[in-house]
A and B are shown apart, each in its own frame.
Chain A
């Protein structure tokens, strides 16, 4: 790699900054205290790290919960006395109770979907990358940005506290369908636990709205000179669409929650009708529709899937191109497909409701629109494959995870074609097939996008590298484990094995999978342990990792690599560089890479 040489050739201005300016990072800024720098920070880079590390905390907790309930699924007949030591009455006699099992399943889902893959993923990378890659000194409103993190943090505190209430945390599944979620008498978890769950989610909605509005404003208004929309890296496009999706759909979820709060506390009947609860008797509520909540929920719930997935897609596009030393194939098609996915994301929510008694004609429209999403998804996959084709691929850990993402996205995306087709969905709905599908395509794939992003931008975040060998170990065990866990689940789903069951041993139709469940649980524990290895690598490398010696370690075109190795608040010590070209001039006219800050030559073709 001749990164220094190329830098000298093509980006004289920025390389001057690199070598001379990192001694005075605090350029133009007054002295910062510990509180203003690390706690109530308004620097987007620090806020990004706050999101990341808080997200990691929740990922460990949420992951640990899955290990605990997998213990029950894999070993329903065994007792683990140490569980009682940790969980007390929730694991009497070393056996997780159904209450605890359902609470774990519910919290695992909520935490992973919202706190890890929404806040942890787009919170981290939208904050970190948007100003750096569009060439801005900070977000449009650093203050709102700070609030966004602290609302998220508070949401987390409330969620955490719900684990400790006497009646237990909410245990009706992360989708929180009423009447179950509305009636404390129908499920103990729907008492105080549910109140805290709603409060936590409401705070979370506020957090993502503050963040989202900020991201949109920054991308639209604060691009540096020359950074037209079609010169933006695909990461920014993806994060931009993510923010738009969030801003348009989270309020609908919020409205659904408000109606739920009314039904729970103020005697209204938005979702309740004709209910007789054992031990309580007939409720007075009549005329509500339990299905209304599902419409409101999935109007966010489906875009949410893309809120999780799009940032990963954007980062993967960037990383694949950089490490193939080749332009991303079909840049405009990539934007177009992101746009198509963002639009369609709003028009497919009822495919989660094919078996609710939905009007069949309405259902058929949703089948059509759902399967339509496969077209932009196919475009993306083939464009990624073509990006690799005839490249010169460097297997950095980030690149490995990006390739892994594509593999998982294909595997999990294709089963979406099964589930989106309503007639087939009738059989597969709410079985392990669904679990396998969304864990692969949304859960693991997005985690892979997140890992790719962390490995790729860690040097920019901390001025040091992560350990490569540990990165490779992390990658190979995780991708193998992920497939071993989730691939066989398709077969359980084909047998109709329902999800969210505490024990299958009384079921003649499903108990034949006992051995498989044990195998899956064992692999899940190993994969979880390996993630701890990654965390060790992360925190060790922050302080002791190999130091960066050049500002642009990957030979990348985008603007963040034109800042000093450890950029201060404001990012560029001098003027913000001007942009002259798109972000993907790799391998052009014999140059390994050409930074966006390099003016276009006289006889050079413009993309």
Chain B
């Protein structure tokens, strides 16, 4: 470590001394000649930088594009529009980027100081200025129109047949709630929250809560069926980030938000398409939420309708976790609370093995 520091400092001292010496040399040679010389070198380097830079941009794309998953396209129907919009935007900004960078560094090289060059006194030109006001304005209008059409379709109402699931963020994990047999989410109030038996603060007097199903960390949704998340938070602001579906929405305490999308591939299909047996649709928390922010992961299991029905049949309403004695499975047995909690634990551990 100290050796490394010593070498770096030595290196700096050497550069510094060379730079100082070069200044003395410049004074000896005469300011004009040395200035012209350094001007030539820097002018040349401008072109070198441009060429190497553009090659670098291409090479960077070679290296990393494959890692972005854009190769496989979006995993949701809505995300396809994001992808197509992305290509249009890349085409527009990419061509402007290449053109303006070439002009910038090429001009710098071409018009470097020459003793006998006469500069062109050119303070303004209305036509030119109008040109580069109007053309960008038109191009941007096109981009805005494409963007807003997509924006309104993403943020619009979810289709009627959408499966509704409530997603709640907490430090540092995710809780999911299905409406159960009655297809209605029951009421909740945050002051009822109790980590052991009522993690969402459901109001048990509300009949609609009694059949709600609550799971943690993993949520099952159905391929090709629109899925609507009603998103909230228990403590600070979190964010449901679904990179493969190209979707994202904040989870704000006290203010529910929504997001919907239609998954195109099951998790299994994605594992085959990407050739990665560990592939998973991960929910990443995308809003700084505390020291465990980086580990706030949830999993979305996209399955077929049949698989989903099979899984759902095994789930028990959360009500029975809070009131084990009401659970029909426990009615005949002289059960204690402890056993009931154990049984609910085995359910959740089964879920985990399925992942």
Contacts and interface: CB of A to CB of B under 8 A. Distances in A.
Interface of A: 1, 82, 98-99, 102, 171-173, 177, 179-180, 183, 186-188, 272-278, 281-282, 286-291, 324-333, 355-357, 360, 363-364, 367-368, 371-372, 374-375, 378-379, 381-383, 385-386, 388-395, 400, 403, 406-407, 410-411, 414-415, 417-418, 421-424, 426-427, 429-431, 467-470, 472-473, 476, 479-480, 483-484, 487-488, 491-492, 494-504, 506-510, 512-513, 516, 529, 532-533, 536-537, 540, 546, 584, 586-589, 607
Given A327-B123, A392-B114, A423-B147, A496 B294 contact: no
Contacts of A588: 121
Contact of A356 (B125, B257, B284): B257
Nearest to B2: A82
7 contacts: A356-B257, A357-B252, A375-B137, A385-B104, A469-B19, A494-B70, A495-B68
A303 B144 CA distance: 22
Contact of B193 (A1, A276, A372, A426): A276
B178 to A, nearest CB: 21
Contacts of B252: 290-291, 356-357
Q: Which of A186, A276, A501, A584 has the most CB of B within 10 A?
A: A276
A330 B129 CA distance: 8
B353 interface: no
Given A423-B81, A496-B241, A512-B67, A407 B190 contact: no
Contact of B42 (A288, A395, A494): A395
Given A186-B171, A472-B42, A476-B45, A393 B112 contact: yes
B249 interface: yes
Interface in B271-314: 276, 278-280, 282, 284-295, 297
Contacts of B97: 410-411, 414
A417 B282 contact: no
Given A394-B35, A495-B67, A426 B16 contact: no
A372 B96 CA distance: 17
Interface string B216-253: 00000000000000000011110101011011111011
A133 B23 CA distance: 30
B151 A364 contact: yes
Given A423-B154, A431-B286, A414 B96 contact: yes
Given A276-B193, A327-B122, A507-B282, 16 more contacts: A102-B288, A102-B291, A274-B253, A278-B195, A290-B255, A330-B125, A330-B128, A357-B250, A410-B101, A423-B81, A429-B286, A469-B19, A487-B56, A488-B64, A508-B282, A529-B8
Contacts of A364: 148, 151-152
A479 B49 contact: yes
Contacts, number: 376
A394 to B, nearest CB: 5
| Main SS class of interface, B | helix
Interface in B161-185: 170-171
Given A289-B254, A506-B297, A355 B108 contact: no
A495 B257 CA distance: 24
Contacts of B56: 483-484, 487
B190 A276 contact: yes
A512 B89 CA distance: 25
Given A403-B46, A421-B89, A423-B81, A98 B291 contact: yes
B315 interface: no
B86 interface: yes
A421 B67 contact: no
A512 B66 CA distance: 10
Interface of B: 1, 8, 12, 15-16, 18-20, 22-23, 26-27, 32, 35, 38-39, 42-43, 45-46, 49, 53, 56-57, 60-61, 63-65, 67-70, 79, 81-82, 85-86, 89, 92-93, 96-97, 100-101, 103-105, 107-108, 111-114, 117-125, 128-129, 132-133, 136-137, 140, 143-144, 147-148, 150-152, 154-156, 170-171, 190-191, 193, 195, 201, 234-237, 239, 241, 243-244, 246-250, 252-258, 276, 278-280, 282, 284-295, 297
B204 to A, nearest CB: 17
Given A290-B255, A395-B39, A171 B122 contact: no
A312 to B, nearest CB: 16
Contacts of B294: 98, 500-504
A363 B111 contact: no
B102 to A, nearest CB: 10
A333 B125 CA distance: 10
Contacts of A290: 237, 252-255
A379 B150 contact: no
Contacts of A510: 284
Q: Which 10 A-B pairs have the closest CB atoms?
A: A496-B243, A273-B254, A357-B257, A587-B119, A423-B150, A491-B64, A421-B147, A360-B155, A390-B120, A469-B19
A180 B237 contact: yes
Given A371-B144, A494-B68, A533-B12, A467 B150 contact: no
Contacts of A360: 151-152, 155-156
A340 B346 CA distance: 63
Nearest to B8: A529
Contacts of B105: 403, 407
Contacts of A273: 253-255
A388 B104 contact: yes
A585 to B, nearest CB: 8
Nearest to B201: A276
Contact of A378 (B57, B132, B201, B250): B132
Contact of A417 (B92, B100, B155, B295): B92
B60 A491 contact: yes
Nearest to A427: B246
B249 A357 contact: yes
A491 B67 CA distance: 8
A540 B250 CA distance: 50
Nearest to A179: B236
Contacts of B154: 423, 426
Nearest to B39: A395
A391 B119 contact: yes
Contact of A282 (B57, B132, B190): B190
A504 B39 CA distance: 45
Given A275-B235, A496-B284, A507-B297, A430 B248 contact: yes
